Amino acid sequence: MATIAELRKARRWTQFELAHEVGVRPESIHKWESGRTVPYDRNIRKLAEVFGIHPDEIEIENDEGKEAA
């Protein structure tokens, strides 16, 4: 499993570039990566599609560091 930030950085993408690929605002990517909010299921599926992985392979954490998905 990998976090959104790890997956993004492995591609050498900025938060802006990932936001464009997923179809969300860059602020959403920042909030997801910082654990302030959790992406909706549809966005998790889109992230998985963009990264070419299964949605279960994306580690989603809330602001307390606990897996939220």
What pTM does this model have? 0.88
> Can you tell me the distance from the alpha carbon of 15 to that of 21, in angstroms, rounded to the nearest whole number?
10
| 42 CA to centre of own chain | 11
Query: What is 2-59's CATH number, 3.40.50.2000, 1.10.260.40, 1.10.287.130, 1.10.132.20?
Result: 1.10.260.40
The one-character DSSP state at 28 is: H
Upper half-sphere CA count for residue 31 (Cβ side, 13 Å): 11
Give the C-alpha separation, 69 to 64, whole Å: 13
Per residue in 46-66, pLDDT (tens digit) is 999 999 999 999 999 877 655
pLDDT score for 61: 80
> How confident is the model at residue 67, as a pLDDT?
60
Confidence of residue 68 (pLDDT cuts 50, 70, 90): low
pLDDT tens track for 5-30 = 999 999 999 999 999 999 999 999 99
